[in-house]
């Protein structure tokens, strides 16, 4: 954190916003995450790839504190979060879009969005640019969440995660079951958010082309370990597509 540094050593652009070191997770006796190291920088999209069941969702859940880690550090902006509950991690700056979206079907779109403000002081307004990012949500703000299409629900889940102004946005397979035009919209939003330069984005994705288009860095997981990593621009040359198809 800036406060820990000597005045002559100001923060440099390459400092990671989030540093994860030696992260392990167990479901009972099953050792799922096996020593994950990860640095995220503001303004970058990190794509997390791997076949079914390798631990991608578990990694996001462990970062959020939805499931406990058994070992390791999760340091956001210098603050150690690994032992803190989920709500404290949200307050510290995590935003989470879970797989399957988890929209409140009986609540209106507006109330779903307000749920995203839970970590903020009462009467905090929604960020004015949410509806600019997702105009369809403004048109539908009084409809019930459950009445929206899958693509609209995905946009609602992303907007809800953005409501509290996260520093790190975790997206778990946002293109799953979504029509191509909405996938394009979601890609544009991710690019726009990254370009602002203040937020780090993690994208778990099965759709290789979508991931490759957005990636500043990539990681491939196998059996709970990072087996490949590199800059997004070299995904194809590194043979990531082939590796995922094996
Ligand atoms: N609640 C749970 N209890 C026990 N084991 C679990 C639980 N959730 C996931 N697992 C196991 O943890 C491993 C990793 O699962 P995870 O869902 O993280 O994989 P993934 O890479 O996200 O896969 P997918 O692409 O299918 O979502 C799998 O072997 C899975 O069976």
pTM recorded for the entire structure: 0.91
Is 6 part of any domain? no
Is 120 part of any domain? yes
Is 7 part of any domain? no
Is 2 part of any domain? no
Ligand 1 proximity of 27 Cβ (cutoff 6 Å): yes
Q: For residue 14, name the pLDDT band (cuts at 50, 70, 90).
A: low
Is 4 part of any domain? no
With tokens 């923060």, the residue in question is 11
| pLDDT tens digits, 119-130 | 888 888 899 899
Q: In terms of residue numbers, what domain contains 121?
A: 16-245
Atom of ligand 1 nearest to the CA of 54: 21
Is 11 part of any domain? no
Residue nearest to atom 11 of ligand 1 (CA): 53
User: Does the pLDDT at position 10 exceed 70?
Assistant: no
Ligand 1 proximity of 224 Cβ (cutoff 6 Å): no
Which stretches does DSSP call E strand in 57-107? 71-76, 79-80, 94-97
In the reported structure, the alpha carbon of residue 53 is separated from the centroid of ligand 1 by a whole-number distance in angstroms of 5
Is 182 part of any domain? yes
Is 235 part of any domain? yes
Parallel, antiparallel or unpaired: strands 200-204 and 30-40: unpaired
Ligand 1 proximity of 175 Cβ (cutoff 6 Å): no
Q: How many domains does the chain have?
A: 1
* CATH code of the domain containing 240: 3.40.50.300
Give the ipTM.
0.95
CA-closest candidate to residue 102, choices 111, 110, 112: 112
Q: For residue 100, name the pLDDT band (cuts at 50, 70, 90).
A: confident
């Amino acid at each position: 954190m800036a406060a820990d540094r000597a005045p002559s050593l100001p923060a440099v652009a390459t400092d990671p916003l989030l540093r994860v070191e030696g992260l392990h997770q167990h479901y009972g006796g099953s050792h799922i995450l096996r020593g994950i190291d990860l640095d995220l920088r503001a303004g970058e999209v990190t794509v997390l790839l791997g076949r079914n069941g390798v631990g991608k969702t578990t990694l996001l859940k462990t970062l959020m504190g939805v499931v406990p880690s058994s070992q390791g550090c999760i340091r956001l902006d210098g603050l150690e979060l690994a032992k803190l509950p989920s709500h404290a991690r949200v307050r510290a700056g995590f935003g989470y879009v879970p797989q399957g979206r988890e929209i409140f079907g009986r609540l209106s779109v507006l109330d779903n969005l307000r749920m995203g403000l839970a970590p903020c002081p009462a009467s905090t307004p929604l960020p004015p640019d949410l509806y600019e990012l997702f105009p369809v949500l403004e048109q539908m703000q009084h409809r019930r969440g459950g009445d929206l299409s899958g693509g609209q629900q995905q946009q609602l889940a992303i907007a809800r995660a953005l409501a509290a102004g996260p520093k790190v946005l975790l997206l778990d397979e946002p293109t799953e079951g979504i029509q191509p035009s909405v996938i394009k919209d979601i890609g544009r939003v991710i690019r726009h958010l990254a370009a602002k330069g203040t937020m780090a984005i993690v994208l778990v994705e099965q759709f290789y082309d979508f991931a490759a288009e957005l990636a500043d860095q990539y990681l491939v997981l196998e059996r709970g370990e990072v087996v490949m990593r590199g800059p997004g621009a070299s995904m194809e040359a590194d043979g990531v597509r082939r590796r995922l198809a094996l």
